[in-house]
Structures are given as structure tokens and as C-alpha cells.
């Protein structure tokens, strides 16, 4: 499975990541990626950057080291009514938006509350990806989540960092097996993100690829293998 896109990366602007945009893009070029999304944490994450960071991303070149750039954000889901901590004005200026559950920004909850909340987040026309689902601290009904993914055109992420040994998110692999089996059942595509917080992690998908092989997941449903298809899929949601 040849992965050509990394949809989830961080720079020093996130506060707890350690590489620059230039270092990340150079690493992506060295690993023969064709497209990378820069998705720093939104302002609600402790230690992260100001909203001005995202509204000024236009100054960055569209391509560096032979790699095209998607300007984006990993926004925080801040309540179970579907709200995230980014203004619509800034969201509309970005190419890609991940929405994620992070303990500093939202309390843990029961399965019904979390599932209903994620369904509401998916209704946001600017949210393209639900970041790192599968954390047992935020239990989900994966059949409902996958159905909502298909209905709204919102992608579910297989987060490679969460699958690594020592990950602080419990239960991820077992839950992603459930999620991927439902995605196969309902013919729903997914994306993989490295969730890189240092340039050496850019384009690192080893654990995710192993999981795809384990569950016999169709390569055609992994949008990282086709940059044009991924970009078209993301744009379609905003056009609805």
C-alpha cells in the first residue's frame, strides 16, 4: 500500500511539537509524499497558537520540496453539542479541518453522549476529518459513527501515533478494528494521519498499514493512496 499523503501533522506552533513547517515539508519530500496537511492545534489547546496563525497561512507557498500543502487545523471539540473552537470565518479560509476530542478541552463522557456529539460535529460543513477516534475514554457506537461519516462526507482517521506501543490512548486498536469492519460493510473511505509532532514522524504509517492488512481493508478505501481523490472528496463536502 503506497501512501502519498499525510493528513495530520504539527509544527512548533502547536506548543508541544518540535519542528518547523520547512522541516516537515522537507521530510515529506524525502519520503516521496505528494501532499501534506499542516494541522496545528487550535487556540483552545493549552500552549498552542493564536487564531492569527491560521488566518495568515496564505503566506506559505503552495508547494515545497516537490510536496503540495494543505493549510489546515486540528480543532478541539469543546462540547457535545457539536461546537469546535474555531470561527467560521477562519475555517472557511482553510483547506482541511480535523476535529478531535482532547482531554484538556472536553470532559470524558458515556457512549451515547460521545456518539451523539460526534454526529453533530460531522454536520459542520467545514469539518473534514474526525481525528483519532477509538480512545476508550471517549467510547463511541462505531456503526452509527461510520453511517454518519457516509451521510455527511466526513472522513474518519486511522491515527498512526495512537496505534504505536506506549500510546496514551487506551483501546485504540480494538476499536479501530470495529470501525474499519463497519467501513468495509458500508463502503466508507478513511484517511491515515501520522499525527507527527517531530519531522522524523512525517509519513510514518507502519502501524496503520499493518492494521489494514490484518482486517483485509480495501486499498481503494484508503484515500491517502490517491491525493487527487482525497482533495476532491474534501471539497465536495463544502459544495453540498
Segment 107-146, tens digit of pLDDT = 999 999 999 999 999 999 999 999 999 999 999 999 999 9
Q: Tell me, what's the pLDDT at 218?
A: 98
Return the percentage of the chain with pLDDT > 90, whole number. 98
Cell numbers given for 118: 460526534
Task: Label residues 48-70 b or e (16+ Cβ within 10 Å = b).
Answer: bbeeebbeebeeeeeebeebbbb
pTM of structure:
0.97
pLDDT of amino acid 166? 86
Q: Decide: 178 and 132 in contact? Cβ < 8 Å.
A: no
pLDDT of res. 238? 82
pLDDT at 61 over 80: yes
pLDDT of residue 221: 98
Span 5-51, pLDDT tens digits = 999 999 999 999 999 999 999 999 999 999 999 999 999 999 999 99
Three-class DSSP category at 28: helix
Q: What is the pLDDT of residues 150-183, one digit of tens each?
A: 999 999 999 999 999 989 999 999 999 999 999 9
Question: Which residues, including other chains, have CB under 8 Å from residue 166's CB and lie 6 or more apart?
Answer: none
Q: Look-up: residue for cell 508547494? A: 63
Per-residue model confidence as pLDDT tens digits over 69-117: 999 999 999 999 999 999 999 999 999 999 999 999 999 999 999 999 9
Amino acid at each position: 500500500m503506497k501512501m502519498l499523503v499525510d493528513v495530520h501533522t504539527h509544527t512548533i506552533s502547536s506548543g508541544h511539537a518540535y519542528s518547523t513547517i520547512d522541516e516537515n515539508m522537507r521530510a515529506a519530500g524525502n519520503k516521496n509524499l505528494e501532499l501534506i496537511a499542516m494541522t496545528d492545534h487550535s487556540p483552545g489547546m493549552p500552549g498552542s497558537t493564536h487564531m492569527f496563525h491560521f488566518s495568515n497561512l496564505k503566506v506559505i507557498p503552495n508547494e515545497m520540496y516537490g510536496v503540495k500543502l494543505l493549510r489546515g487545523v486540528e480543532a478541539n471539540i469543546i462540547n457535545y453539542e457539536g461546537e469546535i473552537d474555531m470561527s467560521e470565518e477562519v475555517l472557511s479560509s482553510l483547506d482541511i479541518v480535523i476535529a478531535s476530542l482532547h482531554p484538556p478541552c472536553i470532559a470524558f463522557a458515556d457512549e451515547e453522549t460521545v456518539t451523539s456529539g460526534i454526529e453533530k460535529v460531522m454536520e459542520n460543513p467545514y469539518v473534514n476529518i474526525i481525528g483519532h477516534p477509538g480512545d476508550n475514554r471517549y467510547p463511541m457506537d462505531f456503526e452509527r459513527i461510520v453511517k454518519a461519516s457516509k451521510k455527511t462526507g466526513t472522513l474518519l482517521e486511522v491515527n498512526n501515533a495512537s496505534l504505536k506501543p506506549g500510546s496514551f490512548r487506551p483501546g485504540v486498536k480494538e476499536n479501530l478494528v470495529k470501525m474499519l469492519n463497519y467501513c468495509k460493510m458500508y463502503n466508507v473511505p478513511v484517511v491515515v494521519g501520522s499525527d507527527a509532532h517531530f519531522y522524523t514522524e512525517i509519513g510514518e504509517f507502519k502501524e496503520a498499514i499493518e492494521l489494514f492488512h490484518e482486517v483485509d481493508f480495501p486499498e481503494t478505501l484508503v484515500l491517502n493512496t490517491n491525493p487527487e481523490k482525497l482533495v476532491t472528496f474534501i471539497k465536495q463536502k463544502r459544495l453540498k
